[in-house]
Amino acid sequence: MRPRRPDAASERRLEELRREAESRGEVGAPGVRPSGSPLPEASAGSGYYGLPLLKPPVWTWEVPLYFFTGGAAGGAACIAFAARVTGAPERLVRDAQWVAAIGGAVSGPLLIADLGRPERFLNMLRVFKWQSPMSVGAWLLLSFGVAASAAVATRGAPRDLASGVAALAGLGMATYSGVLLGATALPVWSKHASILPPHFAASALGSAASILELLGHRGRALHKLALVAAASETVLHSLLQVSATTRLAGAFSGPIPLLLRALYGRSRRARTAAAASALLGSLLTRFAWVEAGRGSVASPPRPLRGDAARSGDAVR
Amino acid sequence: MTTGFFTDSTLCIGCKACEVACKEWNDIPADPFVFSGLSYDNTLGLGHSTWRHVKFIEQEATIGAGGNAAGRITWQFSSDVCKHCENAGCLEACPTGSIVRTEFGGVYVQPDICNGCGYCVVTCPFGVVDRRPDDGRAFKCTFCYDRQIAGEQPACAKACPTGSILFGDLDELEKIADRRIATLHGAGMTDATIYNPKETSVGGTHAFFLVRGDPWAYNLPPKPEVPTTLLRPAWTAAALAAGAMAVVSLLAFAGGGRR
Amino acid sequence: MPGLGTSFGRGGATTAQQDLANADAILIMGSSMAENHPVGFQWVLEAREKNGAKIIHVDPRFTRTSAMADFWLPLRAGSDIIFLGALIRYVIETGRWFRDYVVHYTNAPVIVRDDFQDTEDLGGVFSGAETWTYDGAARDPSLQHPRCVFQVLKRHFARYTPELVEQACGIPRERFLEVADVFTAASGREKTAAVCYAVGWTQHSTGVQVIRAAAILQLLLGNVGRPGGGILALRGHASIQGSTDIPTLYDILPGYLPMPSSSEESLAAYIARYRAEKGWWSNLDKYIVSLLKAYYGETAQATNDFGFSWLPRLTGDHSYFGYWLDMADGKLEGLLVMGQNPAVGSPNGKLERRALANLKWLVVRDMVEVETATFWLDSPEVKSGELTPEEIATEVFFFPAASYVEKEGAFTNTQRLLQWRERAVDPPGEARSELHFLVQLGRKLKAMATGRPRDAGLRALTWQYADEDAEEILREIHGRDIAGGIPVRHFGDLRADGTTSCGCWIYSGVFDGRNKANGRDPEGRYDHGWGYAWPLDRRILYNRASADPAGNPWSERKALIWWDESKGEWVGHDVPDFARGKRPDDRGDPARGGDAALPGDAPFIMHPDGLGWLFVPSGLKDGPLPAHYEPLESVMRNPVHPERQTNPAALKMERADNAYAASPDERFPHVLTTYRLTEHHTAGGMSRTLSHLAELQPELFAEISPELAAEIEVVNGGRVEISTARGSIEARALVTTRMPSLDIDGRRIHQVGLPYHWGYRGLVTGDVVNDLLAISEEPNVKIFESKGLTCAVKPVIPSATRPGS
Ligand SMILES: Nc1nc2c(c(=O)[nH]1)N[C@H]1C(S)=C(S)[C@@H](COP(=O)(O)OP(=O)(O)OC[C@H]3O[C@@H](n4cnc5c(=O)[nH]c(N)nc54)[C@H](O)[C@@H]3O)O[C@H]1N2
Ligand SMILES: Nc1nc2c(c(=O)[nH]1)N[C@H]1C(S)=C(S)[C@@H](COP(=O)(O)OP(=O)(O)OC[C@H]3O[C@@H](n4cnc5c(=O)[nH]c(N)nc54)[C@H](O)[C@@H]3O)O[C@H]1N2
Ligand code: SF4
Ligand code: SF4
Ligand code: SF4
Ligand code: SF4
Ligand code: SF4
Ligand SMILES: [Mo]
């Protein structure tokens, strides 16, 4: 090995590194903190070694899926009630009620499955806390589930009453999840606290309409609803400051069905495609939002790329 | 009595006795054994299995200057802990009522109630509480409620050899902190500041800190907000959206939905 | 600790950790106190916060101690004597020494023999040891005589200039002068400064002389025996001080009585050789006889020299490393290892592990199955195939040991304080205390004693102990009046006629009817009543020096003990380390001998002249004054005495399996030093096995400077191989400016730092750093050099193929 005296070569190398540091704000090459270069530092610029301050959500796939099913079910209950009061065909009302009931029925288990201690689900009902969207949601889901099932299990006035309650709760179901994400500490969610509820509402309504369309209901009302939902989604999405993935997911529930419906609204296949796209979009956006939350824990200001790479490399 | 922690990083020697004492007292499982390469910190942050965590803020060393030299931060240590917020995001958000405020003013997760919904995890503005994967419940500093009940001070404060962690009456501690800051500033250490976000919606914390330099270097966020402040806009938006949804549905069907 | 022993009289810290709180400046050097003595460090912080004391840390690395200090100076490992020598020179040159103190309380005025020749005269070596003495009783209180100690000292340290510090330690001159000013300005009548050190000083081939240099500095500044002053030797394991007081060493007996050698055939010859006419050691006869009575009881009588002949004799180097080499050479049959893990903790691990394979039997008593107990199963040598378990004949016995919370007994801590400890829980399973084990072993051995003369000592040995009663042992250590069967009051009651017995005279006083080590009622400034500090509960040694020759405090601020004329005795905050009733103007009566021969203004009562020794006339093997020599392996030639590279009296024990690099050596261009982390304990048996500690520092790492990292192209967190003339190991690179490269003599020197806590067992494992070290012996205490050798470093994966970069 060479003796460790600074020679022309080592000096040159140091100089190169310093220059690289200065011009690029980071050193990609191995080694070194030549003085003056940005290093894995705990500083006002990078926070604590660029380590995330916040904790990522612990939720797994069940939660975004539940957001989707719960939203769609809520939307369906709303459609069912609207259809009923406006005297739409009974088959549509029935199917919408069934979609709501089934959606409600799978939502509960999904939510429970995600708990760290599923057997303690009932602890959610120990208290009602208006300031906890999760608590509000738990009660909403409970009342929605009961009402939506009652709506398909009963006839006559009780059925209408149940359907009304389900619709009311369904409106909550479709929107509260937006509040749930919005009223948190994670930057990407909290920044969108007042956009997320309408965004989720629109996508819930769109999904419900789409499901019913795919079940063979081809009335204009559903088409209009889906069109309005897609349009709202398109507008709302343009207001979001989100990653490309979330945007891509949003395209399926916003622009794509919007265009399909606006341009080829008379075509059966276009409507089918639009419905499928909206459903997919709604599902994907829910996943994308939870993912986005995970990604946003590396709160600003972000660490320098070189540092992240280096520390990441060290941590493996 | 409302008790608190005043953690003074100018007195912290980075011995990690607090971190270990906490783990021992509370019988917390180990973190993974990974070498981080980030100064002497290999546990890296608070979490479900680290309720006290000592940070090592390392910057360039200068020959001649010790860490106590004014105007230069070379290696600061700071013992972090749940802030026990005056307005605690986790507590507000907990749907089971598992998280409560104790008679000492601390924020306590009742392990027999928590069902692991994970909502507290995303509502803590300091990234403190976390769900332990193998257990399923959320954990964080208990403020040694069990010890306080018995008239003992928390294990971490008890173990601290230098008085960097002071435990006691919150008002009293705030006075001590003010005096300490005055002393340090008097001695030329003008970069010393108290981190206790009273002016934000968090409304102050029961565990507060004295650090040198920008608190952000310690991952102490400049402007933490309790997420409940977002409830009003979010619910308003939700109500409008729900209303719109109802109206649009009715209109869609009323407006000749017969076809 | 002869560095302190020869300078002041006793080989223990002169002060207490709590007293650091009274200091006006504290120099921490050769220690990372905040990391290794974190609890005691609170008093350093107290001094910093309450007195505005300036804390100075001199260490190759910026450590957690530096982080708390006002000043940090990085130095090249192994250059401490140059730094301290320059401080001494600075003190003399600037006239900052404390004249009244120096003239009265040290041997500065004493005239040295005219044939003494200094390293200055003889090219880096001293004239023969017989010349290191005084010229009769001649003194020159004006300190002008060319041969008075002060002038000898002044000439000796003249070479140690700030320029030399810059050149050889790598500390910029201005930075050195700034610190020199701060430290010396904090001494004098009104102020005192303390020095703390630990193994960063001792584990050098010149270790004792480093401490000597500190002693000279503190004597010149008048800092010894005064509140907030002194030298605090920070010891290691919980009772390591206790294990030198009641030694586990081969060359001394309890209470620092010398171990007889084969030339001392009779007790009279032994006493004649070691008893001093003047000063405290005139009592040596009482202590040795009382010790023999404790050992041999009734059988020990004046007629048989109290069994003196049964004591083992020094026949050669039976020091720790001596016997490891013997073991390596197959000259040792068996080894009892109790509470040690040499396979990881001792230098040249490979040699030691291979040596273990030469034993017939090995007993390991430990709380965990440490690497030493499993060398035959999973050591690197077994993994590499050098040793095969089937071929190792060593029979290994593992005994589970009770831990400190599972047994009672006393710890003697770093400041000579005995603190009793109760048993908190019972030991698990078959685990037993050392006391239990040794009592049983003694009984078995006694039962095997034959009638042959060589077993006479064993037959005579008193061994009527209960199975496990630690207080019984402490009572025996304290001593008793044999006839009455009652405890003596303290060592002042011991006699040389066989009517008293005492297991360790310096501890005598701890159990005068009550176990004072168990005292828990602290009182006064020094917490008397909490535990018991030897000797006689004196917390600050030589505290007579806290008053001026007339007996008045040097200043009100620094008052500790003083002469109270009305009471006719010394009074104050501490127990006087001085005859209570001896007047300050007592002239001393040589005719009466002993302590009475010393005058009332001679604070260092263990020394025959009662003075602090700037110049050590006897007791050291490598010189009366510290001189800088390079470590046994160094990156440079000795800049102070180019003719003499290393300590002439140190032993390299060089052999094929204990090889050395040249100095300098192209192959090993960097300085290597080793040390501890707060998160672990020594050889790791007590920390790598606990998850809550293992997670804090899970992997062995090498601290290197960014410059070195750039040169060898390794990233932070990457793997490096470190090698020395003995072997090579792997570690992670921790690239940090806290480990600066230094400008030494026109070259850029890189230093590499390794914590040595890892081994091949436990929850987290890593290479054994001690495989890099050599076995060597400092001449006085025979310690190895762990803090200054040379090495090479290279990346394990060439950077070109590194992923992610
Ligand atoms: N947490 C913890 N505490 C411990 C121990 C432990 O293992 N862990 N061990 C105990 C034991 S057995 C002992 S002996 C003590 C030892 O206590 P210390 O002596 O404090 O221990 P080290 O860390 O070995 O060395 C101290 C410092 O010396 C520096 N050093 C290295 N070479 C040189 C040199 O040439 N000159 C100077 N001036 N400094 C140098 C190192 O960088 C290091 O910071 O600690 C005791 N306390
Ligand atoms: N390179 C390098 N090497 C060094 C040093 C260095 O600075 N650098 N420092 C040196 C120093 S100062 C020291 S002290 C040594 C330490 O080296 P060792 O003494 O070899 O190492 P320890 O791990 O302290 O070993 C003590 C063992 O005693 C066990 N033990 C604890 N309590 C009891 C008990 O009550 N009874 C029994 N039977 N066993 C018990 C522990 O489990 C542990 O395994 O290392 C030395 N080696
Ligand atoms: S810091 Fe986080 S976990 Fe602690 S009380 Fe505040 S919100 Fe809750
Ligand atoms: S995880 Fe437990 S503590 Fe946290 S919010 Fe849910 S129930 Fe409450
Ligand atoms: S108060 Fe108790 S639980 Fe909280 S950090 Fe301290 S020791 Fe741990
Ligand atoms: S115990 Fe005290 S000094 Fe040690 S790391 Fe914790 S806060 Fe700092
Ligand atoms: S481990 Fe024990 S001896 Fe070491 S610092 Fe802590 S209390 Fe003191
Ligand atoms: Mo030690």
Considering only CB atoms, B93 lies closest to which of A46, A134, A315, namely A134
Token pair 């005859």 is found at C579
In this structure, the strands spanning C134-139 and C193-197 are unpaired
Put simply, the answer to whether C64 touches B39 (Cβ < 8 Å) is no
Measure the CA–CA gap between C492 and C237, rounded to whole angstroms. Answer: 30
Closest CA to A195 of A233, A250, A145: A233
- pLDDT digit string (tens) for C427-456? 999 999 999 999 999 999 999 999 999 999
pLDDT number for residue A264: 87
Give A304's pLDDT tier (boundaries 50, 70, 90): very low
d(CA C432, CA A118): 48
Q: Which two tokens stand for residue C602?
A: 């001679």
| Contact (CB, 8 A) for C401 and C720 | no
| CB atoms B56 and A179 under 8 Å | no
Residues 142-201 of chain B with CB under 8 A from chain A are none
Which-ligand-closest: CA of C232? Answer: 1
Structure tokens at C199: 């193994």
Beta bridge partners of C674: C754
Other Cβ atoms closer than 10 A to C319: 16
C76 CB within 6 A, ligand 1: no
Q: Give the one of A5, A35, A309 whose C-beta lies nearest to C747's C-beta.
A: A5
Task: State the pLDDT at residue B200.
Answer: 95
Q: What is the mean pLDDT of chain A?
A: 85
Residues contacting C444, CB < 8 A, separation 6+:
none
Chain B residue with minimum CA distance to A40: B38
* Inter-chain residue contact A1 with C717, CB threshold 8 Å: no
Give the β-pairing of C520-523 and A42-43: unpaired
For residues C163 and A303, which has the higher predicted lDDT (pLDDT)?
C163
A10 and C805 within 8 Å at the Cβ level: the answer is no
**Taking a contact as any Cβ pair under 8 Å apart, which residues of chain C between 687 and 706 contact chain A?**
706
Contact of B74 with B67, CB cutoff 8 Å:
yes
| Cα–Cα distance for residue pair C339/C337, rounded to 1 Å | 6
C787 lines ligand 1 (CB under 6 A): yes
CA distance C659 to C665: 13
**Which whole number is the average pLDDT over C383-391?**
95
**In B, which residues are within 8 Å of C678 by CB distance?**
14-16
**Reduced to 3 states, what is the DSSP secondary structure of residue A245?**
helix
**C473 Cβ contact list (under 8 Å, min separation 6):** C435, C465, C503
- How far is it, in rounded angstroms, from Cα C313 to Cα C250? 10
Task: Please give chain B's pLDDT, 259 residues, in tens.
Answer: 899 999 999 999 999 999 999 999 999 999 889 898 899 999 999 999 999 999 999 999 999 999 999 888 999 999 999 999 999 999 999 999 999 999 999 999 999 999 999 999 999 999 999 999 999 999 999 999 999 999 999 999 999 999 999 999 999 999 999 999 999 999 999 999 999 999 999 999 999 999 999 999 999 998 999 999 999 999 999 999 999 999 999 999 987 544 4
Atom 15 of ligand 1, residue of closest alpha carbon = C236
pLDDT tens column, A254-271: 999 999 999 987 888 999
Tell me the pLDDT tens digit for each residue of C460-513: 999 999 999 999 999 999 999 999 999 999 999 999 999 999 999 999 999 998
pLDDT of residue A300 exceeding 50, the answer is: no
Tell me the per-residue pLDDT of C272-329, one tens digit each, with 9 for 90 and over: 999 998 889 999 999 999 999 999 999 999 999 999 999 999 988 788 999 999 999 9
Give the orientation angle of helix A220-239 with respect to helix A255-264, to 10 degrees. 140
The protein residue whose alpha carbon is closest to atom 2 in ligand 2 is: C786
Q: What is the ipTM of this complex?
A: 0.92
Residue A17 has pLDDT above 70, yes or no: no
- Region label for C330, one of left (φ > 0), alpha (ψ between -120 and 50) or beta (otherwise): left
Task: Burial-class residue C50 by CB neighbours within 10 Å (0-12, 13-18, 19+).
Answer: exposed
Helix axes A133-153, A62-85, angle to 10 degrees: 50
Q: What is the pLDDT of residues C356-373, one digit of tens each?
A: 999 999 999 999 999 999
How much is the pLDDT for A19? Answer: 63
State if residue C682 touches ligand 1 by the CB under 6 angstroms criterion.
yes
B93 Cβ under 8 Å from any chain A Cβ: yes
**In the structure, how many helices (H) and strands (E) does chain C have?**
23, 30
- CA distance to A30, C718, C752, per residue, from C706 (Å): 11, 13, 11
Q: Cβ A30–C792 below 8 Å, yes or no? A: no
User: Which helix (DSSP H) or strand (DSSP E) does residue C751 occupy?
Assistant: strand C751-755
Of B15, B42, B67, the CB nearest to C69: B67
At A205, list the tokens.
Answer: 């309504």
CA-closest candidate to residue A223, choices A281, A174, A172, A273: A273
Whole-number average pLDDT of chain C? 95
Q: What are phi and psi of C202, to 5 degrees?
A: -75, -35
Q: Which pairing describes strands C110-112 and C134-139: parallel, antiparallel, or unpaired?
A: antiparallel
Do C62 and B31 lie within an 8 Å CB cutoff?
Answer: no
Nearest residue to C410 via CA among C471, C343, C359: C471
Is the confidence at residue C686, as pLDDT, over 60? yes
Q: State which residue of chain C sits closest to A8, comparing Cα positions.
A: C711
A263 CB-contact burial (10 Å; exposed 0-12 / middle 13-18 / buried 19+): exposed
Amino acid at C334: G
Strands C252-253 vs C71-73: parallel, antiparallel or unpaired:
unpaired
Residue A295 binned pLDDT confidence (cut-offs 50, 70, 90): confident
Average pLDDT (C87-99) is 98
How many A from CA of B47 to the centre of ligand 4?
Answer: 14
Sheet of C193-197: strand order equals B64-65, C71-73, C54-58, C25-29, C193-197, C231-233
Residues in CB range of A221: below 8 A, 6 or more apart: A83, A88, B252, B253, B255, B257
Inter-chain CB proximity C799 and A30 less than 8 Å: yes
Is the pLDDT confidence value at A24 over 90?
no
pLDDT at C802 over 60: no
Taking the CA of residue A7 and the nearest CA in chain C, the distance in Å comes to 10
Confidence band, pLDDT 50/70/90 cuts, at residue A243: confident
* Contact B99 CB / ligand 3 (< 6 Å): no
Note which residues in 233-252 of chain B have CB less than 8 A from chain A.
Answer: 233-242, 244-246, 248-250, 252
Contact A316 B34 (CB under 8 A): yes
The SS3 call for residue C699 is: coil
A38-59 per-position pLDDT tens digit: 356 777 777 898 888 999 999 9
Give the distance (Å) from ligand 2 centre to CA of residue C34: 20
Best mutation site among C72, C199, C686 for ligand 1 pocket (most ligand atoms within 8 Å of CB):
C199
CA C777/CA C774 separation, integer angstroms: 10
Decide if C70 and B66 are in contact by the 8 Å CB cutoff.
Answer: yes
Q: Which helix (H) or strand (E) holds A210?
A: helix A196-214
Q: Compare CB distances from C748 to A4, A28, A313 and report the shortest one's residue.
A: A4
Write the single-letter amino acid at B26. Answer: N
**Mean predicted confidence (pLDDT) in C772-782:** 96
Which pLDDT value is given to residue A6?
A: 47
Q: Which are the contacts of B183, defined by CB distance < 8 A and separation ≥ 6?
A: none
Write out the DSSP string of C668-684.
Answer: --EEEEEE--TTS-TTS
**Contact between residue C734 and residue B37 where contact means Cβ atoms under 8 Å apart:** yes
CA-to-CA separations, A66 to A139, A280, A283, in angstroms, rounded? 15, 14, 9
Distance between CA C233 and CA B46 in Å, rounded? 37
Closest CB to B257: pick one of A52, A86, A314. A86
Q: What is the pLDDT of residues C236-249, one digit of tens each?
A: 998 999 999 999 88
What's residue B122's pLDDT?
97
Whether the bond into C535 is cis, omega within 30 of 0: yes
Higher pLDDT, C375 or A15: C375
Residues of chain C neighbouring A35 (CB-CB closer than 8 A): 706, 737
Contacting partners of chain B (3+ CB pairs under 8 A): A, C
Write out pLDDT tens, residues A85-100. 999 999 999 999 999 9
SS3 of residue B99 by DSSP: strand
Question: Which DSSP string corresponds to A2-31?
Answer: ------HHHHHHHHHHHHHHHHHSS--SSS
Nearest CA to ligand 5 atom 2: B144
How far does Cα B195 stand from its chain's mean position? 11
User: Taking 60 as the threshold, does the pLDDT of residue A125 lie above it?
Assistant: yes
Per-residue confidence (pLDDT) for residue A43, from 0 to 100? 76
Q: What is the pLDDT of residues B55-110, one digit of tens each?
A: 999 999 999 999 999 888 999 999 999 999 999 999 999 999 999 999 999 999 99
Give counts: helices (H), strands (E), chain A: 12, 2
Rounded to a whole number of angstroms, the CA Rg of chain C reads 26
For C183, other C-beta atoms within 10 Å of its C-beta total 24
